[in-house]
Structure 1
Amino acid sequence: MSGPAEAFDAAERGMWDGRAQVYAGSFARLCAHPVEALLDAAGVGEGTYVLDVGTGTGTAALAALKRGARVRAVDADAGMVAAARELGADASVAALPELPYGDGEFDAVVGNFVLNHVGRPRAALAALRRVLRPGGRLALTIWGAGRGAGQDLLGRACEAAGAVRPAYLPRLGPGEDFVRTADGLAGLLTEAGFGDAAADELAWDHRAGVEEWWSGAAGGVATIGLVVTSQAPETVVRIRREYERLSAEFAEGEGRLALPHRALLASGRRLSCPRP
């Protein structure tokens, strides 16, 4: 039976299908920023057996390998998996909450901006808890309710150009969503049976070229990409014009932008039994 969660997951699959290379050349560097802090929060070091869930093009998996960890990686998109493998990650196709690993198999699990992209976040956390050994650590990043000004640049350009958000964009069912704050995310981990759950907000300026930042949206990557590419050609021209105008607020010279961003980083430890 199909429901809101299944519809959300199907829309997410379609959003990323065939876009691995465009993502690698645009938004991947942005998402790489918290990786070292993510690995620190999960206690990843020499000999740690790590699962990187939603690996994308393999950034977190490869960073863990550099620390001497043993790493497995999964992603729901076959193109992302192929890109990660080309870079040396041991990656395979798997979509949360279904994971092809045994109970308690890993010392640590990391997920860099993956919980935003699943229709059943609580079921996803239960799956991540299952594959962690007792005492093993989970660390996750998500885009939260708090946003930096750079995160809104492309959306502001769409609004100024009169773009209409397509009705088919994925939305979580009301029973699946959670408060996208540090406290809300830490509470979600506690609810899922993780002890010592904590979350903090990260803030940084992402530096990118004007064309690089536009290329992700123009190539259909993520929600903003679906908004842009669903418009009529004349509207896309207006969006680009508004983007160039508004991006001047973040200009650093020579076609470079400094784009303020904010995200949440949470971690917790697997308890032997989930809390009631």
Structure 2
Amino acid sequence: MTEFDESERLIWAGRAAAYAASFARLCAWPVPKLLEAAEVGPDVRVLDVGTGPGTVAVAACSRGATVTAVDAEPSMVELARRAEPAADIQVAALPELPFDDGEFDAVVANFVLNHVGRPKKALAELRRVVRPNGWIALTIWAAPPAAGQALIGRALQAAGAVRPPHLPSLAPEDDFPRDEDGLTELLATAGLRDAACETLRWNHRASAEEWWSGPAAGVASVGQHVQSQPPGTRAEVKRHFDVFSSEFADADGVLSLPHAALLARARR
């Protein structure tokens, strides 16, 4: 594992419940489009990589697919098994999966490539486990981020929060542009064919309390950024969050947060 991978394991350890209560609804939005892109339907053998609380696994089972799912975090696997008993769900992580070559008809990965230290190597492993001509479909967050994605980052910057040293960035040779051309090229360089990518845009609706709860609990790198600050800085981050979030609030106080993600698919 790279330093980035090791950091991700620590970030997510034991945080399944906090994620499920905060960011999980956001990440569920592209799931129908993701499964359509991978052509998941009845009797399709599909692998859901990075299942989290099992959102994709549940949706794939509802389409009649035969579902195997993995996640690197045991607390996520526990939630996913409860959510979808019909799926085979186990602990495993990229870039080495415990499956045979060509074992699956389709592979999906919803917001997973954001969390691996060597994206090209991860894609090569997804390619290995899908059958010839099988589809791989994935989502990642687009960059630059949409206004809703940037909200908490704005609050951190306004409060003068310093990024903690235990949050490494990808090595330059492993990074890639988080736009349609960059992701399409990455798929092609991993040996995949017929690569295509589109940008998805939607407004995620959530209360300010729900949206703040994930970072406050240390969920994802942005949550680690918040939690690592001294108490006074954390209070300033929250104060700025309250001010900035009002820009997105409707008359009932519910936030409507613009988000943008990339949806890509390619064949082995």
Aligned to 1:54: 50
Q: After superposition, give the CA deviation of every residue in 1:120-176 in whole Å (9 maximum; x if it has no partner).
A: 111111110010000100001001213210111111111111211112212111111
TM score, norm. by length of structure 2 = 0.97
Aligned equivalent of 1:36: 32
Identity of aligned residues (%): 61
1:177-227 per-residue CA deviation (whole Å, 9 max, x = no partner) reads 112110110111111111110001110000011100000000000111011
Matched residue of 1:38: which SS?
helix
User: Partners in 1 of 2:26 and 2:132 — Cα distance?
Assistant: 32
What's 1:274 paired with?
Answer: none
Which position in structure 1 is the counterpart of 2:92?
94
- Following superposition of structure 1 onto structure 2, how do residues 190-229 of structure 1 map, counting pairs within 5 Å? 190-229=188-227
CA contact (8 A) 1:111 1:141 kept: yes
Rounded Cα–Cα distance in structure 2 between residues aligned with 1:166 and 1:234: 16
Hey, what does 1:243 align to over in structure 2? 241
Range with greater deviation from structure 2 (146-155 or 64-73): 146-155
Corresponding position of 1:7? 3
Describe how 1:1-276 pairs up with structure 2 within 5 A.
6-88=2-84, 89-270=87-268
Find the residue that maps to 1:252 and give its secondary structure.
coil
Q: In the TM superposition, what whole-angstrom CA distance separates every residue of 1:32-55 from its partner, at most 9, and x where no partner exists?
A: 010000000000011110000011
Q: Tell me, yes or no, if the aligned pair for 1:12 and 1:170 is still in contact at 8 Å.
A: no
Structure 2: runs of 5+ lacking an equivalent? none
SS of the aligned residue for 1:202 comes to strand
Following TM superposition, where does structure 1 have runs of at least 4 consecutive aligned residues deviating by more than 3 angstroms?
A: none
What residue identity is the alignment partner of 1:199? C
Separation (CA, whole Å) in 2 of partners of 1:253 and 1:148 = 22
Whole-angstrom CA distance in 2 between matches of 1:253 and 1:112: 32
Tell me how large the CA RMSD over aligned residues is.
0.9
Distance in structure 1 (CA, Å) of the matches to 2:83 and 2:129: 25
Q: Which amino acid aligns with 2:15?
A: R
- Once residues 98 and 251 of structure 2 are traced to their aligned partners in structure 1, the CA distance between those partners, rounded to angstroms, is 48
Matched with 1:273 is none
Normalised TM-score (structure 1)? 0.94
